[in-house]
Amino acid sequence: MRDENKSIHLEQLTAKLRKRTAVIGIIGLGYVGLPLALRYATVGFKVLGIDIDPAKVARLNQGMSYIEHIPSPAIAQARACRFEATGDFARASEADALIICVPTPLNAYREPDLSFVLGTAEALLPYVRTGQVVSLESTTYPGTTEEELKPRLASRGLTVGHDIFLVFSPEREDPGNPHFETRTIPKVCGGSSAACLEAGVALYSQAIDTVVPVSSTRAAELTKLLENIHRAVNIGLVNEMKIIADRMEIDIHEVINAAATKPFGFTPYFPGPGLGGHCIPIDPFYLTWKARQYGLHTRFIELAGEINSDMPHWVIGKLTDALNQQRRAVSGSRVLVLGIAYKKDVADMRESPSVELMELLRAKGALVDYADPHVPVFPPMREHRFDLTSVPLTPDTIASYDVVLLATSHSAFDYDLIRQHARLIVDTRGVFLEPLPNVVKA
């Protein structure tokens, strides 16, 4: 017997999701959307991926991947399991679930840029219909789902919570981490109403092992920000500790490893040349911007941001001092940057501190090259232009540079070879733990 208090649209939607006869629409087939699309296809759903990049769409429909850590056979398998990519937003009407996975960058004033989210919403709006669940996964400030998406759906004459269902469920991808995959990472989900939350849980529980419901979309939005701000603040702390330890001539990595032996009350974080990736350098600013609307100043968060933002300059200072010890100026020196992806063993260049290091070195007159097995050609970027390809690491090549700057510690690097043949190494990742005459910690 049907529950009279429950929308017939909700009953029909959840039934289709449970039976896996629903069509899942994923908008944005990047580092977040593509793994999610593959997961839904694997468990038996028909999946429609929508992306504005025609080259990406064509490549995926040929069963080929464009993301290094996602193999092409996984795409081909998904294609065989009813995954299709398209650039046609009109096909959104075919989907029972629409999951939005588009970027949320910062503008030139380091304020939230929701243009991708709002542009996607406007493109979808003519094609949304009753009986759909719409989920936003893009990281954003608390209130976005209710303030921006809900009124747009209402403008179509759809009652959220009765005709159509709206949730926020933040992405939790960690590219290159072999210990977690889309299925095994718990999924936080908040709904615009109780009925919306029920629809969201029904959607994600088909593909994710653990779904964590929260009371509202705003709580889910703040959950994502807390996760990344927690990391940003702790990295800021350990980066400041690195500067203090360096001045005291103490190896910060030795200290961190010793502290990590404590079985309670301490979580190790490791310093680096700055923050990278699409989340941690950006997400704290979404909260600081929103907090100002409530008359609040997020001093702790902003201080951590300042410390992390200054790290590339501190590293260049260490490199400059190291070259001075060898009676060389940065200007005219040949510098090889090892690793330009933002993290170990991935090809992702988003917000990479390595690129800022290259810019700072070039501004000082250095002749800059790079080596990165995951990035064979320096890609086009909005704010950075380098006409470079990855340098092969041979004994003669390594020895030809005045200094090797280790910025990203990829597993593929032969560190013994580098140590033996480099004239000078500036190590920002603590790879060379033992004291060596040609290694400077930074």
Q: What is the DSSP string of 208-231?
A: -S-EEEES-HHHHHHHHHHHHHHH
Determine phi and psi for 346, rounding to 5 degrees: -130, 170
Q: Give the tokens for residue 163.
A: 């005709």
DSSP symbol at 432: -
* Residue recorded with tokens 């510690």: 409
Instruction: Give every CB contact of residue 356 below 8 A, 6+ residues apart in sequence.
Output: 274, 312
| Contact between residue 360 and residue 353 where contact means Cβ atoms under 8 Å apart | no
DSSP symbol at 92: G
Query: Quick one: which H or E segment has residue 371?
Result: strand 367-371
| Contact between residue 132 and residue 13 where contact means Cβ atoms under 8 Å apart | yes
Query: Quick one: which H or E segment has residue 368?
Result: strand 367-371
SS3 177: coil
Q: What is the DSSP string of 5-50?
A: TS-HHHHHHHHHHHHT-SEEEEE--STTHHHHHHHHHHTT-EEEEE
Q: Give the tokens for residue 316.
A: 């260049």
Q: Give the tokens for residue 128.
A: 């949304």
Q: Find the DSSP H helices in 82-216.
A: 115-124, 144, 150-154, 194-204
Which residues pair with residue 36 across a beta bridge?
Answer: none
The residue annotated as part of the active site, out of 101, 189, 196, 279, is 279
DSSP symbol at 127: G
Active site residue 196: no
Which residues pair with residue 211 across a beta bridge?
Answer: 187
| Contact between residue 258 and residue 250 where contact means Cβ atoms under 8 Å apart | no
Gap between the Cα atoms of 234 and 269, Å rounded: 7
Spatial CA neighbour of 175 closest among 33, 335, 378: 33
Q: What is the DSSP string of 235-265?
A: HHHHHHHHHHHHHTT--HHHHHHHHTT-SSS
| Contact between residue 193 and residue 161 where contact means Cβ atoms under 8 Å apart | yes
**Residues labelled as active-site residues:** 279
